[in-house]
Structure 1
Amino acid sequence: MKFILLIALVLSSYSHASVKAIYGEDDRLEYSEVSLEYKRLGDATGAMIAKSKLSLQGTSYYFSTKTLGEEMMGNQFRNGYLCSDEAFHSQQTLSTCSGFLVSSNRLLTAGHCITGKKACSNYLWSFGLSESKMREGKIHRDSVYSCKRVIKRSSGKRDYALIELDRSVVGVTPLRISKKSLKKGEKLFTIGHPSNLPLKFAMNGRVEEISGESFKTNLDTFAGNSGSPVLLTKSREVVGILVRGSLDYVKDLSRGCFVANRCERVRSNADCMGESVFNLEYLK
């Protein structure tokens, strides 16, 4: 993953610490496509939004943003653009990072999402920001939260930030952090904002490799998923924070436009090294 901006790469330049990819079939689902149990987990998953993208008018924050196709045109790709038949091409983009509630007024995200002296004050948070909500072009001010303070932040191997919001998020159940030790092969899913899109659920992942304070998965994630909760399919408990991964997009040479990087399996080539997750067993 990169620090949450959409990737600006050409075919010959793949290496970047914060990009991601698709493994096998694209398993991403909309909020409207999942069960009520999963929806409740999505309601506790936050979108980190730059204040500059929102305009408070009366009781709502209004926004006018580019679609994914528009966002990835021009300076996002050198000499290229996103193929028009790519998934979510016409959906709006808004967020920068993802995060998730661990109490009524505290959330976890990736540490590299919260950098600089104004990282707390320059961003707002909204939860359960689905595609249908994005279509409205506004968010009620009661559903927008500011960062009161960064309680703790770490980068590098322990890539996380714990944030206190300005007030409690009412009517939402925070996610539970697992207390068990992770095992290779366990099934996983994640929730967040790939490519800064509305909320998506990436299903059917698994633990591929455990190495010290991180582990790798084959979840279908992209830049914008930084800070997403990674949960055990069986218990619905959080075991990690998504922080980086393989290349997001590659050029389709036959058409001249860019498509999602598809990996048949983790480590199949240099651009498919798996999605890296900070293991919450090491949260301190």
Structure 2
Amino acid sequence: MNKFLSAILLLLFSLQLCAERLSENRVIDFKNSNTHTLQYKHMLTNTGILVDDNNIHKKTLLADRILSIFYNNTKNRNVCEDVPFIKQIAIGTCSGVLLKPNLVATAGHCVDKNIFSKTWFFNYQNGDNLALKKGYKVQRVIFKNFELIRSGYSFERNTINRQRQKIGVGPLPPDMHDYSNYRDIALLELEAEVEGYIAFNINFTPFFSGRKAISVGYPLGLSLKQNTNGTLKEMASPYYMTTNIETLQGNSGGPLFDVETGDLIAITVNQGFNSTFGLRKNERCYGFKPHLMVDKDVAHSSGHMTLAQVKQYIFDSP
């Protein structure tokens, strides 16, 4: 083995050791949200799940759905038996939060041409039958803005990836991210006012590093869940901030609340750049797992849009 290749392998080994030292060594940690787990009732009553009308009467278990959420090809893939909530029904696509009795904020990427063929349900608890629960249709899209994060590779990252390719190792992810034009938020007017809506305060300029926050929503389309408490981490643009709270697909559009005051401070729009679901080689099954991280490669666990860019629309709506 030549000296150059040996040096590259040594570098890769060093990166792995660094990643192991910086690993958070944790898995997704959700728990059911109800009056016993949340201090503020509006976190329950005002948090909605978006469901395709064709799925309302279905009883699809997470065990039957989870692989299709993460992989296009599910053949020969088995779910690990210890995946949480595996026996619960999972049929939602996104989360949202009521700002007024008939006004929902959600992620922009949750709103497409089929939005009028979907229904919102609020405070959907495990065991609820959506076919018997009152749902709310969208009357109009008041506002939608969806612009992607621009990502790229530095010269150093490109150099490393070329060497990784030569020895048959997969590439490292992009290490340059531009959030300046990133937008992902929508406001929807419902056909009727939601029963049980509770008014609450919105903090339009919520950021200070270390503020304690809690994410509420419907991860993977499950019933209402909350995360363990986390903190605000960084303000990446005037409208976008990050936290160390882990979220999943289905949390998109769900509210981020201030733990102490109960104020709404943002909506969840992405789960960061690191998957926490994948193959456990030793167990030969797919599930949630601790993931190794190199500090500069992991910008955050979750991303959130503040409500500042839609403030005018909120106050102008009836």
TM-score band, normalised by shorter chain: 0.7 to 0.9
Matched residue, 1:82: 79
Question: Quick check: 1:188–1:203 contact (8 Å CA) kept in 2?
Answer: no
Which letter maps to 2:86?
A: H
Question: Quick check: 1:64–1:137 contact (8 Å CA) kept in 2?
Answer: no
SS of match in other structure, 1:72: helix
Write out aligned runs for 1:246-257 (5 A). 246-257=274-285
Does 2:62 align with 1:68?
yes
Question: Quick check: 1:23–1:218 contact (8 Å CA) kept in 2?
Answer: no
Question: Quick check: 1:249–1:260 contact (8 Å CA) kept in 2?
Answer: yes
Question: Quick check: 1:149–1:164 contact (8 Å CA) kept in 2?
Answer: yes
Write out aligned runs for 1:17-166 (5 A). 24=26, 26-32=28-34, 34-35=36-37, 37-54=39-56, 63-73=57-67, 75=72, 77=74, 79-116=76-113, 118-119=114-115, 121-133=116-128, 136=129, 138-140=131-133, 143-156=134-147, 157-166=182-191
Q: TM-score, with normalisation over the residues of structure 1?
A: 0.79
Aligned-pair CA distance for 1:78: 5.4
Question: Quick check: 2:42–2:199 contact (8 Å CA) kept in 1?
Answer: no
Q: Deviations over 1:138-166 (max 9, x none)?
A: 333xx210000001111122211100001
Higher relative contact order (CA 8 A, sep 6+): 1
- In structure 2, relative to structure 1, the CA distance for the partners of 1:252 and 1:190 (3 Å cut) is same
Aligned-residue Cα RMSD (Å) equals: 2.4
Q: Deviations over 1:54-95 (max 9, x none)?
A: 3xxxxxxxx222211111246564542321111111111011
Structure 2: segments with no counterpart, 5+ residues: 1-23, 148-181, 312-318
Q: TM-score, with normalisation over the residues of structure 2?
A: 0.71
Counterparts of 1:35 and 1:200, CA distance in 2: 10
Write out aligned runs for 1:225-236 (5 A). 225-236=251-262
Write out aligned runs for 1:199-238 (5 A). 199-212=224-237, 213-238=239-264
Counterparts of 1:77 and 1:145, CA distance in 2: 33
Does 2:213 align with 1:188?
yes
SS of match in other structure, 1:185: coil
Counterparts of 1:280 and 1:159, CA distance in 2: 11
Matched residue, 1:281: 308
* Identity among equivalent pairs (%): 25
Structure with the higher strand share, 1 or 2: 1
SS of match in other structure, 2:208: coil
Aligned residues: 248
Question: Quick check: 2:66–2:220 contact (8 Å CA) kept in 1?
Answer: no
Matched residue, 1:259: 287
Q: Deviations over 1:198-226 (max 9, x none)?
A: 11011311112211121111213100000
Which letter maps to 2:135?
A: V
Counterparts of 2:297 and 2:26, CA distance in 1: 16
Runs in 1 of length 4+ with deviation above 4 angstroms? 73-76, 267-272
- In structure 2, relative to structure 1, the CA distance for the partners of 1:147 and 1:76 (3 Å cut) is farther
Question: Quick check: 1:181–1:281 contact (8 Å CA) kept in 2?
Answer: no
Aligned-pair CA distance for 1:122: 1.0
Counterparts of 2:227 and 2:25, CA distance in 1: 11
Counterparts of 1:272 and 1:82, CA distance in 2: 28
* Structure ID, larger Rg: 2
1:243 to 269, 276, 280: 269
Structure 1: segments with no counterpart, 5+ residues: 1-21, 55-62
Aligned-pair CA distance for 1:105: 0.5
Question: Quick check: 2:96–2:104 contact (8 Å CA) kept in 1?
Answer: yes
Deviation larger for 81-90 or 25-34: 25-34
Which letter maps to 1:138?
A: A
Counterparts of 1:87 and 1:269, CA distance in 2: 30
Counterparts of 1:194 and 1:76, CA distance in 2: 21
SS of match in other structure, 1:69: helix
